[in-house]
Structure 1
Amino acid sequence: MLKRISVKTSKRDEMIDITREIKVAIHEAKIEQGVVMVYSAHTTAGITINENADPDVKHDMLMRLDEVYPWEHPKYRHAEGNSASHLKTSTVGASQIIIIEEGDLVLGTWQGIYFCEFDGPRNRTVYIKTMEG
């Protein structure tokens, strides 16, 4: 089953926890065992799994990505001026695959699934594909 969810971002760079929405999709699909793929079809936004207990982790990740890929750089050539967001997305990745067991995500105690915005604010789409198996 394929489900699309909308994510409205409010900042240029932010990480939004979408774990709950993915759990809803699994429940709606009535999957007990299998996998779920979470996919962002955007070149300037990605999907990652990381700690969801301490908000400072999101802050630190975004801060360090900004240090590695500054918004402005004299050698960037991309005409739209958002080369940093493309680099961040390629580093984080566009998708994650998570195991489903007993109708729930197999995640560590502190793990959550995040939509990573790197060129906002925007209205985005995330695809959630559940597969039995």
Structure 2
Amino acid sequence: MAQMKILAVETRDKDQVIDITDTVAGYLRDVEPESGLCTVFVPHTTCAVAAMDLDPGTDLDLLEALRRLLPAIRYRHPHNPDHAPDHILATLIGPSLTVPYAHRRLLLGTWQRIVLVELDGPRRRTLHLTCSG
């Protein structure tokens, strides 16, 4: 049977990468089964989750590279065209990430961290964590 927890994260900048690895790892301390898959999902259209290296500066590299991917076009988003790029970038990264865990420990690579990528902050973001065996 899957277990679920809802968490909140406060972002402080328009574009921001927030390391949520320890938050997710802390949730695993009490889950059953002790091995399985943990999915992190954000129910928002202008932020995303990913696994990445967080050596100093790589967060800023990611954000700058993402913004440079966007073409200079006339966006047609109905309530605010300036907001359209935020939706597009969040779609490219994705709203969820699934990570295996064993003995209540995330099976991430040596340099991998789980991150929330904020693209329209500052905001209060909701994370849905679901673990199942």
User: Considering the TM-score relative to the shorter chain, is it more than 0.5?
Assistant: yes
Q: Matched residue of 2:57: which SS?
A: helix
Letter in 2 for 1:92: I
Q: Displacement of 1:74 after TM fit?
A: 4.6
- Runs (5+) with no aligned partner, structure 2: none
Q: Residue in 1 aligned with 2:58?
A: 57
RMSD over aligned Cα, in angstroms? 1.2
Q: Residue in 2 aligned with 1:122?
A: 123
Any idea what the Cα deviations from partners look like across 1:11-56, whole Å, max 9, x if unmatched? 111110000110111112144210000000000010000003x121
Q: Residue in 2 aligned with 1:17?
A: 19
Q: Matched residue of 1:41: which SS?
A: coil
Q: Displacement of 1:8 after TM fit?
A: 0.3
Instruction: Kindly tell me the number of residue pairs found equivalent between the two proteins.
Output: 129
How far apart, CA to CA, are the structure 2 residues paired with 1:59 and 1:74? 24
Which deviates further from its counterpart, 26-35 or 10-19? 26-35
Q: Displacement of 1:68 after TM fit?
A: 1.2
The structure 1 segments of at least 4 consecutive aligned residues displaced by more than 2 Å after TM superposition are none
How far apart, CA to CA, are the structure 2 residues paired with 1:74 and 1:23? 41
Report 1:1-133 matches (<5 A). Answer: 1-52=3-54, 54-69=55-70, 73-78=72-77, 79-80=79-80, 81-132=82-133
